Amino acid sequence: MNGPEIRVEFDPGLHLFVPQTRRAGATPVATDGVSTLGHVVESLGVPLTEVGALVVDGREVPPAHVPAAGESVAVRAVERPQEVPGAPLRFLLDVHLGTLARRLRLLGVDTAYESTDIGDPALAARSAAEQRVMLSRDRGLLRRRELWAGAFVYSTRPDDQLRDVLDRFAPELRPWTRCTACNGLLRQATKEEVADQLKGGTQRSYDVFAQCRQCGRAYWKGAHHEQLEAIVERALTEFPARG
């Protein structure tokens, strides 16, 4: 490209997406005179899902803005908490985020998850059809235009991934209301109703049960409960319900 030259500066929160040479402040970018600013930013490596305001010479512009020679552009990170207008907040996670999916469900957040790799086009189509925010660490997937909405998951550690998503979208937390296996809603169940899923010890030791309305799986305060309780307590403490 040897069209109009502009200067672009990225918010520090976006530095992981751009080469080292573009992290120290504003750097020159040669544009082609027809591409939009959104396209220019994306071609520099930053998914638009992670971009907040685009500010040109102190004035906010839409991603469709076509940069002119000499403009100075500040690319801000998306604001937190991020509003996702138009539908109840729900998520779709790609095949690599299984632990995060189960933790979000544990907290009662509506979370669809594909445990097999159905491919980017199918994921993007499902995000659009069900109006779900696509969560992924795959920048190529987040670039797909069909997505209802998307967000990059910044960490590879499930603890940090959960904190990242709760901090960014501030979903309403309703722990112990969803099936961690299938995302279905739970209902209270009697011991008799779930008896066929219980081993002898469980049968004798517990009296409070829940069952998934969708897949029928039984839940009780069993072996892994302390670990799950700790995840729930931490989330409720760090992200108390908003006013």
Work out the angle between the directed axes of helices 98-106 and 225-238 (0-180°, nearest 10). 80
Please compute Rg for the chain using Cα positions: 22
CB of 133 or CB of 212, closer to Zn ion: 212
β-pairing, 5-10 with 27-30? antiparallel
Quote the least distance from Cβ 80 to Zn ion, whole Å.
31
- Residue given tokens 């219980």 in the structure block: 198
Quote the least distance from Cβ 26 to Zn ion, whole Å.
51
SS3 12: helix
Token duo for residue 12: 């520090």
First to last CA, the chain: 50
Residue 94 · residue 144 · CB < 8 Å: no
User: Is 214 a binder of Zn ion (CB under 5 A)?
Assistant: yes
Q: Considering only residues 216-235, where is the footprint of Zn ion by CB under 5 A?
A: 217
CB of 22 or CB of 102, closer to Zn ion: 102
CB of 181 or CB of 232, closer to Zn ion: 181
Question: What length is written for the chain?
Answer: 243
Query: Which one of the spans 66-74, 161-169, 170-178, 183-191 is the region binding Zn ion (CB under 5 A)?
Result: 183-191
Instruction: Select the residue interacting with Zn ion from 8, 37, 151, 212 (CB under 5 A).
Output: 212
Site string for Zn ion, 123-162 (x = CB under 5 A): ----------------------------------------
Query: Which one of the spans 10-18, 96-104, 135-143, 208-216 is the region binding Zn ion (CB under 5 A)?
Result: 208-216
Half-sphere exposure of 6 (CA within 13 A, CB side): 24
Instruction: Select the residue interacting with Zn ion from 52, 158, 184, 222 (CB under 5 A).
Output: 184
Q: Cα 156 to the chain's mean position, in Å? A: 13
Residues that bind Zn ion (CB under 5 A): 179, 181-182, 184, 212, 214-215, 217
